[in-house]
Amino acid sequence: MSELLTHLYGQQHRLCSTPAGQLTLVLSREREIDLIELEQLCDAVGWSRRPLRRVRRALQNSLLLVGLWRHDPRLPKLVGFARCTGDGIVDATIWDVAVHPLYQGAGLGKQLMAYVLELLQQQQVERVSLFADPGVVAFYEAQGWELEPLQRRCAFWYAP
């Protein structure tokens, strides 16, 4: 099984823990993100659509892309996503954090964020920020993120 997972999701994949334990959910920075699947995920969480060619370029220009996959040996399904932009040394910003509504509330968003931060820390990025929608500020705060202008290492802004 582990060889198959490495083949599908890359060396740095991580298995997620889930309450039911029946599904295999995998975080991966290496498995390629399909634009249509990503669009479907964004639709599912209620985000407005962006032109696919612009999304493609945005992904190409990103520092890090992370997919959360429901494992299937034939066709893994994208059920979560996050990406980062930045210089990869001093600064990174996390964007487009999403977990499909069917999979929310199971600790996957938290594991997705932890995975992203670990990968950024491996690159020794000094400062990470994100822009949180008002309805998810508490989600980030519970994970130790602090509101600007406290000027701590991890920070996020919300522009009203």
Ligand X SMILES: CC(C)(COP(=O)(O)OP(=O)(O)OC[C@H]1O[C@@H](n2cnc3c(N)ncnc32)[C@H](O)[C@@H]1OP(=O)(O)O)[C@@H](O)C(=O)NCCC(=O)NCCS
Residues serving a catalytic function are: 140
> Applying CB under 6 A, which residues contact ligand X?
45, 97-99, 104-110, 132-133, 135-136, 138-139, 142
Q: Which is nearer to ligand X, 12 or 129 (CB)?
A: 129
Closest CB to ligand X among residues 52, 138: 138
Tell me the residue number closest to ligand X, measured at CB.
Answer: 109
Which of residues 66 and 97 has its CB atom nearest to ligand X in the complex?
Answer: 97
Distance CA 67, CA 102 (A): 16
Residue 97 CB, nearest approach to ligand X (Å): 5
Cα four-point dihedral sign 47, 14, 145, 139: positive
- Minimal distance in Å, beta carbon 127 to ligand X? 18
Single out the residue of 103, 116, 99, 124 nearest to residue 64, CA to CA.
116
Q: Considering the complex, what minimum distance in angstroms separates the CB of residue 68 from ligand X?
A: 9
C-alpha distances in Å from residue 77, one per residue of 4, 23, 40: 15, 12, 11
Which 8-state DSSP code applies to residue 152? Answer: -
